[in-house]
Each structure stands twice: as structure tokens, then as C-alpha cells.
A and B are shown apart, each in its own frame.
Chain A
């Protein structure tokens, strides 16, 4: 089954910057019908949307994280990336990337990755 693939370090130290990359298995990244997003789930908690990016570089950010987050896209590599700075233990979570279908009507995340666990600890 088609799915996205997250990659990045499993362990990062407090105050450092996390960098994650999501690889898209087809050419849909060049389509105008999708945004590309990052979502996380801390242990025992619900899902939290972090940020989304369009193929042309347009972005949306969660206001609560905006000062620490940057999302970027490289359509030539079929990848988009997330950086999250000034990490604390509260950033420990499973991080998911997802494709956000916007082609018609209400938007929805129609394709996800399995997620990657990121632990913030010294």
C-alpha cells in the first residue's frame, strides 16, 4: 500500500534542533491538488498538527509552534522537511508526515507515513 516515509534521528538533546524528512513515493508532490503536512502525537496524548506546505512553497503553521518551526519542500527529490528548534522533553512524540488532499470540497489527509518516534533527552 502506498505510504509516505519519515526519516530522522530517534534521539535528540534538549535545546537542539530536530530535522525530519518525508519522502513521497510518487509524483503527486508536483500536483496542485495537495498540501504536505507534519503531525505529531506525544505519548498518551492526541494528535497535533504542526505545519503544512504547498508545492509552490506556501505554508501554514500551528500558531503555538510557529516561532520554532520551519517547513520546506524539494519537489525535485519528492521530499519535504521539518525543522523544530529549541527542543524540550515536551517535544517527545511520534512525528507523522501526511498528504493533505485539497483538490475538491473539504480537505483531508489521505495518505500518511507510519511515523517516527523522536525522543528529546540528554
Chain B
């Protein structure tokens, strides 16, 4: 299986901050990388798919980049509603694997 290593695991932040979360795959996955936002008690929400394509309805302050093994999720200016856990997921093959998650909190 493809291992996904996400960092950091925890990210203290303030409103207005620019944040970057990284995800590294154990082998090349081309651009088969997705990012999700998850808040407690809610359904996870797709933010970015295919490494850099913004899902419909997601604010433009979210962006994704990368290809091969190294990927980043950037939030250009953190808003109060962005405090949540973010995780990456590879879809290079049918055996989907996820990063361990990054909790963004105050």
C-alpha cells in the first residue's frame, strides 16, 4: 500500500495566518491527491482534488499544489470557520490511503 505522511500533525494558528500543510507519498502518485476538511461531528468535506483543482463552492483562499510524491495545501488567510482537521488522500490505485491529519487550532 502507498503510505501518506502528513505534517505537521498539529498547527496552532490565528485568524489571518497563511498556513501550509504538506503530504508526502511513499511512491509517485502523479497528481492523484485529494485534500479534505473535517470538523467534529460533521461529514468530511472535499476541498481539493487532483492535487490542485478546487472543488466547487470551496473558497479561493484554499489552494493545492504538487505532483509525484510531494504535495501542499495552502490556506492564504485563515478564517474562523477554517479551524478544523485537514487530511490528504491518494487515489493512485483502488487501495486508498490517507494522511494522519493536521489539526489547525488556536
Contact = CB atoms under 8 A, between A and B. Distances in A.
Contact of B95 (A45, A63, A105, A109): A63
A16 interface: no
Nearest to A49: B96
B44 A112 contact: yes
Nearest to A115: B43
Given A46-B87, A109-B89, A3 B43 contact: yes
A114 B49 contact: no
B29 to A, nearest CB: 9
Contacts, number: 67
A47 B98 contact: yes
Given A46-B87, A96-B44, A114-B41, A108 B34 contact: yes
Interface residues of A, number: 27
Contacts of B97: 49
B105 to A, nearest CB: 16
Interface in B70-106: 87, 89, 91, 94-101
A63 B50 CA distance: 25
Given A3-B43, A110-B55, A114-B42, A47 B50 contact: no
B interface residue count range (under 10 / 10 to 19 / 20 to 34 / 35 or more): 20 to 34
A49 B100 contact: no
8 nearest CB pairs, A to B: A108-B49, A47-B98, A49-B96, A112-B43, A60-B94, A107-B91, A46-B100, A106-B50
B69 interface: no
B98 A49 contact: yes
30 contacts: A39-B96, A39-B98, A46-B87, A46-B98, A46-B99, A47-B87, A47-B89, A47-B98, A47-B101, A49-B95, A52-B96, A60-B94, A60-B95, A96-B44, A105-B50, A106-B32, A106-B49, A106-B51, A107-B32, A109-B44, A109-B46, A110-B46, A110-B49, A110-B55, A111-B43, A112-B43, A112-B44, A112-B45, A113-B43, A114-B42
